Amino acid sequence: MTGIKVIAVDDEQIVLEDLKRHLHEIAEIREVTAFTDSGEALQWLEKNQADVAFLDIRMRNTDGLTLAKKLKELQPACAVIFISGFSEYAVQAFQLHVFGYLMKPVTIQDIRRELSHLYQPQIPAAPPQKIVRVQCFGNFEVFINDELAKFRYSKSKELFAYLIDRMGAAIEAGELCAVLWENRPDSHSLRSQLRNSIADLTRCMSEAGAADVLRKSRNSLAVNTQALDCDYYSFLRIEPGAVNTYKGEYMTQYSWAEMTLGGLERLQRQ
């Protein structure tokens, strides 16, 4: 992982300068080219190669989603990592097969984590059978080697459901507490319960030999969307046999899932 050429695009100059500063601190990155204007970025991409693109998903002129589509047409091998303050764009980002989705404010640890996943050594081999299978349509269920996963706490299962719903976005503890215990103020007790749920979820995956399903950092948690089978993800990718799996129900036991359900209904009408 050396000599990486990066392009960064964000229409907020201050945010872009912070991102550039983080990128320049990473020794493996050889070159950073930055733009506040997506049109200028596209012109540059027509004549220059980039290995990784960090794109703001919400910009005034051309939004990051449109920019990513055009970038992929020009340079299919370029890995796109979206940066956003809005997690609701994750569905559209996922459909573009982007590599990563980071929530603002982005830290150097976030960037290092994404690059380490992108450039980890690749050993040619037959694709391994995925141990974890997730059912999102209807009730949310988790299967390990085709048997129902056994969590010690119900919140561990709901925590995993929310991470699946966020599709690889790194979620911080404060947001997890607000979602899982929506009617309770943040407190040391709540943070302790969250730590117990994270430990339980980690134990469950590790004992199954599926520790790579979770991406953990000091302040956030995410799922590795490539390390599990999921009917929701297959549906978004329009995989054969997955188009008709959605029947109008999504994680029915969780009220916070209604926003994603609305997005699925709009997709189905298109």
Go through the chain and tell me how many residues it has.
Answer: 270
CA 249, chain centre distance (Å): 22
Residue 47 DSSP symbol: T
> Which residue reads 């561990």 in tokens?
156
Q: What is the pLDDT of residue 126?
A: 46
Query: What pTM did the predictor assign?
Result: 0.62
Compute CA distances 141 → 34, 155, 165, 169, 231, whole Å: 43, 13, 13, 20, 11
46 touches 92 (CB < 8 A): no
Domain ranges of the chain: 4-119, 132-268
Q: Which two tokens stand for residue 120?
A: 């980890």
Q: What is the largest CA-CA distance in the chain?
A: 55
- CATH code linked to domain 4-119: 3.40.50.2300
β 4-9/52-56 pair status: parallel
Helix ranges, the chain (H): 13-24, 38-45, 64-74, 90-95, 108-118, 154-165, 173-180, 188-207, 231-236, 258-269
| Fold of the CATH domain 132-268 | Arc Repressor Mutant, subunit A (1.10.10)
Averaged pLDDT, groups of 10, the chain, 270 residues long = 89 94 94 95 95 89 83 91 71 61 85 81 53 96 95 97 94 95 93 97 95 89 93 84 84 96 79
Q: What is the pLDDT of residue 123?
A: 40
Q: What is the pLDDT of residue 116?
A: 83
